[in-house]
Structure 1
């Protein structure tokens, strides 16, 4: 996914879907935000689980300041007590160390993920403690730039779809999976438009990307 392909997929979606066309007419088209693939982005995604993006970003910056560069070896050289001071919970400390160890031992080949299918990337990432479907899907969408990702476990996306489509109830993961079928093979773009509308309705904007290293 790049800016050209993103613009093309927005045009195709809005030409055939009045709900997304109305969303773009009201709130505009968001910029294409991508994060660099690799260890640092996965660390940030793990820190973002079940906390605010601002809180996760603050913890990430403190850890980065401590380790100097966000790599697996520097992170493994920290103590749990140090990371706790940085705002990393005991559970997420375990997840981050498992990720770092997998990269160091070669169990997880991060550069090689780009050559795998979406399902193969999911299996490789979900095999790690603390990495579930949401984290794997967001990595595929935001770091690997896959065009047809649909993170059904994302609560904001569930609510955004209900609002944009004027649904009576917020869809659960199974229902959202069915909703997304209408936007294949551009579900990543549909998700971005829905997230943008969700934030705009609440007077918020996409979180600026933080410097990872």
Structure 2
């Protein structure tokens, strides 16, 4: 059965990780505990995550707010009534218009049931989500970590998490994906919480931020 974290056990998990890893302990000692970032399990949340793919954080949030302003409530049915021109007026690119419509259709048809996903293991959720046009592993990771709060995910496709890991562990820039994942295995079964500590470091340590690709920055807006 997959492990989850919540407000009641979050700091205890942070402490358990810190007791086994001096680098994570240093993050807590220097910057405190990371916030427990979370999002509701809704269609709007998945649209928001899609908007955040490979763009500035401000533009993703601006598009989401514009869409909400235009249709009041972001639901699959309301989204499917919009024309491409109306999406464009809400700052959606052509690709993300397609992705959002496809997601809305999948939910209305029953291909994806967000409530049912809450009961499934990681890989089944990932398989269902990535079967949809425009949803890849990064989006699935964000959903698993911040919406469903599954405890053992390391988002290898997230630039902020990877860069923070390299800095905290003093790893060379050319460290491979496989080598990075091997390093994170020591944090199982709580790799999500370890990732939150890394994002907390990334946001807190001066002069180490990048303008795109940081999940915590996206979640925190």
* Contact 2:52–2:218 (8 Å) recurs in 1: no
Partner residue, 1:55: 59
1:31 matches 2:43: no
Moved more, 116-125 or 173-182: 173-182
Stretches of structure 2 that go unaligned for 5 or more consecutive residues are 210-215
**The one of 196, 201, 204 aligned to 1:197:** 201
Correspondence list, 1:113-128, <5 A: 113-128=117-132
Taking the aligned partners of 2:106 and 2:175, their CA distance within structure 1 comes to 35
TM-score, normalised to structure 2, is: 0.90
* Contact 2:57–2:217 (8 Å) recurs in 1: no
Stretches of structure 1 that go unaligned for 5 or more consecutive residues are none
Deviation at 1:199, TM superposition (A): 1.2
For residues 68-125 of structure 1, give each alpha carbon's deviation from its aligned partner in whole angstroms, at most 9, with x where no partner exists. Answer: 1010000111111111111110001000000000001111111100010000000000
1:160 matches 2:172: no
Partner residue, 1:110: 114
Q: How many residues align?
A: 210
Partner residue, 2:8: 4
Taking the aligned partners of 2:38 and 2:176, their CA distance within structure 1 comes to 26
1:44 matches 2:39: no
Partner residue, 2:70: 66
For residues 56-75 of structure 1, give each alpha carbon's deviation from its aligned partner in whole angstroms, at most 9, with x where no partner exists. Answer: 01110001111110100001
Q: Aligned-residue CA RMSD in angstroms?
A: 1.6
* Contact 1:118–1:140 (8 Å) recurs in 2: yes
Taking the aligned partners of 2:9 and 2:56, their CA distance within structure 1 comes to 30
**The one of 86, 96, 102 aligned to 2:100:** 96
Q: Flag the 1:5–1:100 CA change in 2: closer, same or farther, 3 A.
A: same
For residues 13-58 of structure 1, give each alpha carbon's deviation from its aligned partner in whole angstroms, at most 9, with x where no partner exists. Answer: 1111001111111111111011001211100000000012221011
